[in-house]
Chains A and B, each alone.
Chain A
Amino acid sequence: MATQHSRSAARLMMAPAVVLLLGWMLVPLIMTLYFSFRKYLPLRGGDLGWVGFDNYVRFITSSAFWPAVQATLMIVGGVLLITVVLGVVLALLLDQPMWGQGIVRILVIAPFFVMPTVSALVWKNMFMDPVNGLFAHLWKAFGAEPVAWLSEASLPSIIMIVSWQWLPFATLILLTAIQSLDSEQLEAAEMDGAPALKRFWFIILPHLSRAITVVVLIQTIFLLSIFAEIFVTTQGSFGTRTLTYLIFQRVLESQNIGLGSAGGVYAIILANIVALFLMRIVGKNLDA
């Protein structure tokens, strides 16, 4: 509903954003695709020509690949499980009447605003250090042997750090969803004599299903590319080398651009599969 005039103005005003994002998407994407088909070692001979799908095959068949996939899945799955379950519990708790609700909310949300490098370092040194970390003190206080968390239980440690960062996000979104639940529905169920557990299972959880889906999808996209947490803690050692970190090492550390680019293409495909599901939910909401 507009005039030719405003339509052409609209196109003009949309142009900068569209052109910039198109460039941002296409130029590196095409370069990555191009490199992925070449043997390209900037420090050892430079561009050595076409190799077809060699890089793709080598990336998958390298001994580092499956462990990386495994580590990635463990971290993403572990963090999702922890944040969603605890997020639902926390959201339910925060929805209850209490004193100082606003302050509790702020305390719970705070970790989300801590930059990843800070939270990784603080956890690594001040909590998980086997000599001076707080956990070590705690273990000793109970007469147990302190654990060298980041080398002996490296994956669970990373999962724990990342979960701490993302729990606020899940909680906040689930809390918003719970608060949008029509209270009359719950009251009706209460009048019908449904006990609390049944009310949760049959009314609250179905109501939350969409919010949970959104949390899972968005977190998956961000978790697939966590980087700083590994960069400042284990540097990918002790079985914490994720797909993202593996590609980073191939590209910047061993400067094997072709191989890294092939890995990058895999990562892009993987992220797009998840993104597709998220887009469908967001798109549906746009129509409503």
Chain B
Amino acid sequence: MARAVTPQRKVINTALAWGVGLLIFFPILWTILTSFKTEAQAIADPPLFLNFDWTLENYAIVQERSDYMRFLWNSVIIAGGSTLLGIVIAVPAAWSMAFVPGRWTKDILLWMLSTKMLPAVGVLYPIYLIFIKLGLLDSRGGLVVVLMLINLPIIVWMLYTYFKEIPGEILEAARMDGAGLREELLYVLTPMAIPGIASTVLLNIILAWNEAFWTLNLTAAKAAPLTAFIASYSSPEGLFYAKLSAASTMAIAPILILGWFSQKQLVRGLTFGAVK
């Protein structure tokens, strides 16, 4: 849409939009800035914006004291593992629904989505109990499975919408060319769907990284990811603003960057195709 507007109008738009954008972004910016201050500067009155002595000491202290790397590693394993496991299970399922639709396909898709709507708190105790019985409490493996399950509907759904865009004739051509099911999936479908699979992976890593119900309730010390690490700052360490900020920045930075890459896919993944 190339609408012509007067330069004045464009200047006003720009100023307004940047103002609002910076306002919304400000809490993140402030957190990042504070992470480079000393504790005293962090609570200085009046607050310091840029005129302070930049320091990296908070990052060093947070790492040293709280074993940040372990939490980070747990987050990576849990988010990455649950997403990969989900993809492996979802690709065949999405293939079936996209290319061999049956009478029930639509119902199965909608039912899968409906499991996503199940309030976690409603099944908290049963899961808790099962985890105790199976010895999964505070284990990365257990969380990988749970997060895979809560995101599986979204993964299947996203892959389904991407696969639907691949013409079925190409897969039939592969079949005629002597490809078995395995070759068809491995050499034809998957390479063609790489962009779609990549965005699905991206969005689901973000969702799993930020998940904060099961990660808080099913972990203690060993398997706790960054969500739980930050929650442990709730008090009294939370009053050390500079360290809190450093920890927060480290927890959100990787996903903020991934997120900016995936903003286009976000709409598709989170509205289940209801908004295009």
Task: State the A residues within 8 Å of B (CB).
Answer: 1-2, 6-7, 9-11, 13-14, 16-18, 20-21, 24-25, 27-29, 31-32, 35, 90, 93-94, 96-101, 103-119, 121-127, 132, 134, 137, 140-141, 164, 167-169, 172-173, 176-177, 179-180, 183, 210-211, 214, 218, 221, 224-225, 227-228, 231-233, 244, 247-248, 251-252, 257, 260-261, 264-265, 267-268, 270-272, 274-275, 278-279, 281-283, 285-287
Q: Which residue of A lies closest to B254 (CB)?
A: A113
Given A32-B125, A108-B21, A224-B119: A13 touches B47 (CB 8 Å cut-off)? no
Partner of A93, one of B16, B47, B209, B231: B16
Q: Does any Cβ of A come within 8 Å of B121's Cβ?
A: yes
The A/B interface has a contact count, at CB < 8 Å, of: 315
Q: Does any Cβ of A come within 8 Å of B74's Cβ?
A: no
Is there contact, CB below 8 Å, between A283 and B17? no
A sample of 17 inter-chain contacts (CB < 8 A) reads A16-B93, A90-B20, A93-B20, A94-B17, A97-B13, A99-B14, A126-B34, A132-B43, A140-B45, A173-B267, A214-B271, A244-B121, A252-B125, A252-B217, A257-B125, A270-B119, A281-B274
- Which of B18, B95, B156, B271 has the largest number of chain A CB atoms within 10 A? B271
- Distance to closest chain B CB from A94 (angstroms): 6
Partner of B89, one of A9, A17, A105, A108: A17
Is there contact, CB below 8 Å, between B256 and A28? no
Is there contact, CB below 8 Å, between A25 and B1? no
Is there contact, CB below 8 Å, between B13 and A93? yes
Is there contact, CB below 8 Å, between B124 and A122? no
- Distance to closest chain B CB from A138 (angstroms): 9
Given A227-B121, A232-B231: A173 touches B271 (CB 8 Å cut-off)? yes
- Which of A18, A109, A113, A221 has the largest number of chain B CB atoms within 10 A? A113
Given A7-B102, A224-B119, A268-B119: A35 touches B27 (CB 8 Å cut-off)? no
Partner of B27, one of A101, A123, A233, A251: A123
Q: Does any Cβ of A come within 8 Å of B30's Cβ?
A: yes
Instruction: Pick from B51-59, B109-117, B136-144, B191-199 the stretch touching chain A.
Output: B109-117
Given A24-B115, A132-B241, A214-B274: A100 touches B14 (CB 8 Å cut-off)? yes
Q: Does any Cβ of A come within 8 Å of B166's Cβ?
A: no
Partner of B275, one of A140, A210, A247: A210
Task: State the B residues within 8 Å of A (CB).
Answer: 1, 3, 5, 10, 13-14, 16-18, 20-22, 24-25, 27-28, 30-31, 34, 43, 45-47, 89-90, 92-93, 95-97, 99-100, 102, 106, 108-110, 112-115, 117-130, 149, 152-153, 156, 168, 181, 206, 209-210, 212-213, 216-217, 226-228, 230-231, 233-234, 238-239, 241, 244-245, 248, 251-252, 255-256, 258-260, 263, 266-267, 270-276
Given A183-B1, A279-B114: A228 touches B213 (CB 8 Å cut-off)? yes
Chain B, interface SS category? helix
Please indicate the chain A residues that have their CB under 8 angstroms from the CB of B126 in the complex. Answer: 27-29, 31-32, 35
- Which of B209, B273, B274 has the largest number of chain A CB atoms within 10 A? B274
* Separation of A267 and B121 alpha carbons in the complex (Å): 8
* Separation of A96 and B271 alpha carbons in the complex (Å): 24
Given A98-B17, A115-B227: A20 touches B122 (CB 8 Å cut-off)? no
Q: Which residue of A lies closest to B92 (CB)?
A: A13
* Separation of A222 and B159 alpha carbons in the complex (Å): 22
Given A108-B20, A113-B256, A164-B24: A272 touches B117 (CB 8 Å cut-off)? yes
Is there contact, CB below 8 Å, between B92 and A16? yes
Is there contact, CB below 8 Å, between A271 and B206? no
Is there contact, CB below 8 Å, between B276 and A113? no
Partner of A180, one of B113, B181, B276: B276
6 closest A-B pairs (Cβ-Cβ)? Answer: A13-B92, A28-B123, A113-B259, A264-B122, A31-B126, A10-B96
* Separation of A40 and B231 alpha carbons in the complex (Å): 30
Partner of B181, one of A9, A17, A31: A9
Partner of B152, one of A9, A17, A173, A211: A17
Is there contact, CB below 8 Å, between A177 and B27? no
Q: Which residue of B lies closest to A228 (CB)?
A: B212
Is there contact, CB below 8 Å, between B263 and A105? yes
Is there contact, CB below 8 Å, between B27 and A127? yes
Please indicate the chain B residues that have their CB under 8 angstroms from the CB of A247 in the complex. Answer: 121-122, 124
* Separation of A9 and B189 alpha carbons in the complex (Å): 15
* Separation of A225 and B128 alpha carbons in the complex (Å): 17
- Distance to closest chain B CB from A137 (angstroms): 5
Given A21-B149, A218-B271, A252-B128: A106 touches B119 (CB 8 Å cut-off)? no
* Separation of A90 and B114 alpha carbons in the complex (Å): 30
* Separation of A90 and B99 alpha carbons in the complex (Å): 39
Please indicate the chain A residues that have their CB under 8 angstroms from the CB of B124 in the complex. Answer: 247-248, 251-252, 260, 264
Is there contact, CB below 8 Å, between A114 and B28? yes
A-B contacts besides A18-B93, A124-B234, 12 pairs, CB < 8 Å: A21-B153, A98-B14, A100-B14, A113-B259, A117-B230, A227-B212, A228-B212, A231-B231, A244-B121, A260-B124, A275-B117, A282-B273
